[in-house]
Every structure is written in C-alpha cells, then in structure tokens.
Structure 1
Amino acid sequence: MRSIFFLILAANVFFFLQQHFFSAEVHAQGTGNTVQSVQEEASPQGLLLLSERSATDGAIKKKSSQSALANRELGDESKNDTPLCTMIGPYEQLLHAEYAVERLTALGADVHVVPIEIKEGESFWVYLAPEVSEREALNRLYELQRKSIESHVISKGELANGISFGRLSNYEDAEALAKKIRDTGYDAQIKIMPKTIQETWVVVADGIAGKIDNSVWEELIKKQKGLEKRQNYCLGVASQ
C-alpha cells in the first residue's frame, strides 16, 4: 500500500516537471519569433536614413527655388517688354503743345497730346445735404443769402440740389466755417475731396524718339520755361 502511494507521488512530480519545462521552451521560442519580426520591420529597407531625407528635402527645395526664379524672370521679362514713350511737358498752353506735335510729326514721329491729371493734395468742401428738388434748393439759397451767408446751389453730382459754402485747402478753416454755419441753425457738413490739376504733355511713341536729333529736343524744351523731357511706360497713356 505504501509503495503504491510513493509511485503515484513520483508520477505526479514527473508530470509537473515535464509541463513546466515544456511551457518555458514554447515561451522562449515565441519571444524569439517576435524579436525577429520586429527586427525585420526595422530593417534598412523600411527606413529613410537622415542623409537620404536631407537629400530628398534638398531636391524639393531646389525645385521650388527654380520654379520661383522662373516665375520672377517671366515677370521681369513682361515688364521689360512694356514699351517706353518719350514725353515733353507740362505745357501751360495747348497751342504750344500743338506746335511741338507739328514739329515732331514733320520729322516722321508718331506723336499726340495727352492731358494727365495729377493729384495735388486734398480740399475740404463745406456744404448742406441736397434738398428734395431744385425749387427747394433755391428757397434754401435765398434764405441763406438773406442772412448774408455766402453760398450757391450745387447743380450736378451726388450732392446736386445741395448748398455749397466753398472748398478750403485747410481742414481747420473748413471746420471753423462749418461751425459758424451750424451756429446759425444749419447742419453744415464737410466732405474731403481729392485736389487734382490737369497737365498737358506731348507723347512720342516708342522707338521713334531715339531717331530724332538732340538739337530738336533742346529747341522744343526752350520754347517754354519749366518744360522737361522724360520717359514713361506707354501702357495706360491714352491718345487724345
């Protein structure tokens, strides 16, 4: 009986040891396969080295730089293709400009007179808002004149049928005038207006001015004090 007990105990111990070592071997084999799989995924074939990435980035930047340079050169070429016209002016009298046109035309030049508006600061318009009709505007004008307030009816534009008290070049003066009128019971307002002057220039087409002798230019410039000869892009210069 005792021998049977020890036999069963020995069999259980043997079975336990066999199961323990077999599980450890399987676990070690699985770990080895996992490590091998990770190593294969991290192989050089699946990675982009720092030197290779730098080379790729450099190629992209170089291509972008070349594209930007090409676009800039294209813009410069477009600007350089714009013809240059030769201009003489500004003329105080149209008659003098027409004489220059005749003189240059006789030499075979393509030439014309061009009026050019030049912005010269701002002016400040003191006014009353437009009335509903011209008759109402005239009634308002007579009312102001009876109070010795100098004014006139605005005949056209967005302020037509309004009352104008004049345009002043200084804002402080305009504000003082508007306040004086407000003190008499009228809602005077101030509108800022661009102040422009018109100059008369003689324009010679591109490629012709260089064929005219300098003595001719000097003769034309001496006809009036303040005349000058200059070059400007022909684009936007309209014939008159």
Structure 2
Amino acid sequence: MRFVLYFLLVVNVLVFLVGWVSNSAPASESLDSIVDFASGSPLKLIEEVDRNLLREKSEATALAQAKGLCAMAGPFKLLTKADVLVERLLALDVKSDIREVDVPVDHAYWVYLEPEVSRVNALKKLKELQEQNIDSYVIPKNELENGISLGMFNNQDLALARKKEIMKLGYQPKIKNVPRSTTQNWVVVEPEEAQKLGVESWQRMLDGMKGVSYKQNYCPDVASLQ
C-alpha cells in the first residue's frame, strides 16, 4: 500500500514538472521559426507575402509599359526604300506598316497683343494699329482668338526687336513660342510584333540605309499609308 502511494506521488510530481516546463516556454518565439508540419517548410509571414505581391505587380506594370512601345525606323524620303524594310521584316515573320509621323523640327516666335473682349473691340484695335502703318491682323481662332498678330518670326532676336518696336508706340505685346513640325515617313512595328526582334537585328536590317535610324517610342496615332 505504501509503495502505491509513493508511486502516485512520483507520477504527480512528473506531471507537474512537465506542465511547468511547457508553460514557461518563451512566448516571443520568432515567427520565422514556425514550421508547417504538413510540408516541413517554414510558413511565410503575411508581410513577406505582401512584399512579394507588390514586387510581382511592379514587374508586371513595367512589362505592360514596355509592351506599349512601338519599334520605329526612319525617316524615309523614298517610300520604295521603306517598302524594302517592310519586306525584310515580313521575311522574319514581323508585320509592319508605313506611317506619316509629325516630328517637331524647330520653333517660331509669334508677337501678338492679348485678345480683346469681343470681335468688335479687336477690329477697333486693328484699325488703330493699321492707321500707324503697323502690319497686323485679327487672330480668328485658338486660345488667342480676337488677339492681334504682329508677326511670326523664325529668329528669336527678330521677334524681340519687333516687340520693342511696338512697345515704343505704347502697346504691350507678348511673344509666344510656337512649335513647328514636319511630316516624315516611318516604318512602324506594333508592340506585340516588336518583341520578336532585338536591337542587333534592327541594326543588321538597317545596314546600308543611309539616314535611317531605329528607336522605340509611343505608337504614333496615325493611319497606315498601306
């Protein structure tokens, strides 16, 4: 009987010790050490998953932006030479077309008087200027409608000289920088097709085509000439 009591006492002590050790384990155990026992691999933290998703989204956005660029070669003065490049691309299973593209080339400098409140007032101002032998006309439309044009100049110094001349007569003219463009013929490859060729391939195809260069740019929003 005494032996049974001793045995039960020892068992109770062991149970107590096991429970005490379990409860005293560090509560701040690193989450990085938690293991998914089903797979045997560490569990990923929510923050880590979020970072991965953001990185993948950023990469996908960059790829989508890259896909929005057309491959372009030009300018071509002769459409027959542009046709040659189109045929070379087609031989590589790359579709392309020839387009007219507006390309900025320089600027003009517009000397003018600010718009009047009405057409009637603009005509009165025009008459006043022409009575002083000042070459001018009423601007019929755009943001300067009912203003007075005093001349368009290719050279900024000439525009400044004109402005000073008019100011001596008691007026306050202004100068507007006006971009000028020219129309050029370019061979354009849409983004999906452009991914089929690298820069080196383009350089080989353009070899011998004097004055023709390759670039990536936003696709020109104009109709094909073909």
Q: TM-score range by the shorter chain?
A: 0.5 to 0.7
Report whether the alignment pairs 1:202 with 2:186.
yes
- Normalized per residue, the structure richer in helix is 1
Q: Relative to 1, partners in 2 of residues 1:157 and 1:201: Cα closer, same or farther, differing over 3 Å?
A: same
Distance 1:161 1:124, change over 3 A: same
Alignment of 1:68-107 (within 5 A): 68-82=54-68, 84-89=70-75, 91=76, 96=78, 98-104=79-85
* Bigger Rg, which one: 1
State the TM-score, normalized to the length of structure 2: 0.57
Q: Do the aligned residues in 2 keep the contact of 1:153 with 1:161 (CA within 8 Å)?
A: yes
> How far apart are 1:164 and its partner, in Å?
1.1
CA displacement at 1:215 relative to structure 2: 8.3
Residues 66-106 of structure 1 deviation map (CA, whole Å, 9 limit, x = unaligned): 122211222233245446423111x4x5xx2x333444566
Pairwise CA RMSD of aligned residues? 4.3
Gaps of 5+ in 2: 1-22, 35-43
Q: Which residue of 1 aligns with 2:169?
A: 184
**Which residue in 1 is equivalent to 2:53?**
67
Question: Using the alignment, how far apart are the partners of 1:237 and 1:145 within structure 2?
Answer: 43
Whole-Å separation in 1 of the counterparts to 2:24 and 2:220: 63
8 Å contact kept, 1:119–1:194: no
Quote the sequence identity (%): 22
Task: Give the TM-score of the pair, scaled to structure 1.
Answer: 0.54
User: What aligned pairs does 1:1-240 form with structure 2 within 5 A after superposition?
Assistant: 48-49=27-28, 51-52=29-30, 59-82=45-68, 84-89=70-75, 91=76, 96=78, 98-104=79-85, 110-118=96-104, 120=106, 124-131=109-116, 132-133=118-119, 137-167=122-152, 177-191=162-176, 193-206=177-190, 207=193, 217-218=206-207, 221-222=209-210, 227-233=211-217, 235-240=219-224
SS in 2 for 1:73: helix
- 1:140 to 1:117, Cα distance in 2 relative to 1, 3 A: same
* In structure 1, distance between residues paired with 2:47 and 2:174: 58
